[in-house]
Structure 1
Amino acid sequence: MKRMPFLVVIVALAFGSMACPRAMAAPQAANRYETAGIDDEASVGVFLRTLKTAVRHGDRKKVASLIAFPVIARVHGKSEQVKDAAQFVRWYPQIFNARVKKAVAKQNEKDLFVNWRGLMIGDGELWFGPAVKGARLTIFAINN
């Protein structure tokens, strides 16, 4: 008599899962970048590879195309507002110094720190993400 409730539970579970195959299906992998407002996970890898290639080749204009201006960066030892791509290209050696270049070169996509503000490269040398949910990815903070 004591086994009857146990048997009822087993039968109910068996028939319940047959009636609802989705209940047994593996859960969908979550978008790890959703917190940062990024819908397209693949866009992060594309952005990071583009940035790494541009920095490795010293392509100042390409790097500039990945930045949301104006942006604050240290130039000649003081904090400056970099107003546009032309100004960034001029100041590139001071802005993308050895520390920033090393952080970019070492960054793996799987190790990106993600929060509601965006994605962080290195120890915060660069932050990038969409300006608004669904917008293209851009660098919005440079901590050189």
Structure 2
Amino acid sequence: MKKLIVIILTFTIILTGCSTNNNVTETTQPENRQDLQNDIGDSSNTNSNIPDNINTAGSLFEKGYYDYQGTINNDITIRMSLYPLEKDIVGSYFYESQKKEIDLKGKAGGEDILLYEYDETGKNTGVFRGSMDTVDKIEGTWTSADNKKNYPFTLSLISNLPGAEYGKRYAIAALKASDQDVENFINKVQDYVMNNKKEELSKQISYPITVKIDGKATTIQNKDDFIKHYDKIFYLDYKQVIGSASTKYMFANWQGIMFGTGSSNIWINELTATDGNQKLMITAINH
């Protein structure tokens, strides 16, 4: 009888152990997970350890575009443009070496800023978490979406377009042309300069125009005059500046849209053509 009880107890323990092992196997199976969402603070985001409870009421950003230049990991140069849209901060950035814009969306408070980046499919690819005393400088850490890479970043404000409507960065100087129209025009001008397309470039200029030739202010009256003096206007060093200048996030005011760096620049304006239509034209060439 005792032997029978022992056998029964042993058999029961074995069955219980098998049942427990089966349960462990079932609960440790991987679950299906959706792609990261575009909403800030979504629990599916792998950067959920970064707080998103920023008090946006204390944001230092006011209506308008804020354009920055800086680095990631101290040696990778980037450009970034931010805009406070309702309670969010939206914008984009690009690596100087690639020129491909990456979308940003996040939040900003009195001291902190949190910006998630997204690829063309809307998938989160990283996050900027920074701090600032003023909007002039932002410093912090960039983290990859899988939390495996962390690099310091720093951004310095290089221009601001206060009061500009979202999506109408250049409207103060180009009311009819869209932002994309302006940037397409600048890209075309840059291509003409870098490839010595003198004839094509001469058609984009509003004459007369005053330029410096051999250090002296000289008035260029027409296309033929421009082509004649082209090599002295667009000399090698000046062409290199124009060729490396960003065709995005450009400064604009009532005088026009500035393309270039420092005192070496080209100014664009929207003018009324002879047929009555508005047309983007070069109105100043400075070096």
Corresponding position of 2:279? 136
Measured in 2, the distance between the counterparts of 1:94 and 1:135 equals 30
What do you get for the CA RMSD once the two structures are aligned?
Answer: 2.2
TM-score, length-scaled by structure 1: 0.72
Please list, as runs of the form range in 1=range in 2, the aligned pairs for 1:74-113 lying within 5 A after superposition. Answer: 74-113=212-251
The one-character-per-residue Cα deviations of 1:48-86 (angstroms, maximum 9, x if unpaired) are 111111112111111111110100001133111100000
Q: Please state whether the residue corresponding to 2:232 is helix, strand or coil.
A: helix
Q: Structure 2: any 5+ residue segments left out of the alignment? A: 1-85, 89-164
SS in 2 for 1:29: coil
Distance 1:110 1:57 in 2: 20
Deviation of 1:102 after TM superposition, in Å, equals 2.1
- Secondary structure of residue in 1 paired with 2:278: coil
- Aligned pairs for 1:24-63 (under 5 A) are 29-39=166-176, 40-63=178-201
- The amino acid across from 1:130 in the alignment is E
The answer for unaligned runs of 5 or more in structure 1 is 1-23
Aligned equivalents of 1:102, 1:115: Cα separation in 2: 25
The CA distance in 2 between the partners of 1:99 and 1:129, in whole Å, is 25
CA contact (8 A) 1:37 1:116 kept: no
Q: TM-score, normalised by structure 2?
A: 0.38
Is this contact kept in 2: 1:55–1:63, CA < 8 A?
Answer: yes
Q: Which has the higher strand share?
A: 2
More deviation in 89-98 or 104-113? Answer: 104-113
Specify whether residues 128 and 100 from structure 1 end up closer, same or farther in structure 2 by C-alpha distance, changes over 3 A only.
farther
Q: 1:130 to 1:90 in 2, by over 3 A?
A: same
Q: Percent identity?
A: 24
Aligned amino acid, residue 174 of structure 2: G
Q: How many residues align?
A: 118
Q: Which has the higher helix share?
A: 1
- The within-5 A match list for 1:117-128 is 117-122=255-260, 123-124=262-263, 125-128=265-268
Contact 2:247 2:259 (C-alpha < 8 Å) held by counterparts = no
Alpha-carbon distance in structure 1 between the residues aligned to 2:214 and 2:226 = 13
Larger Rg belongs to: 2
Distance 1:52 1:37, change over 3 A: closer
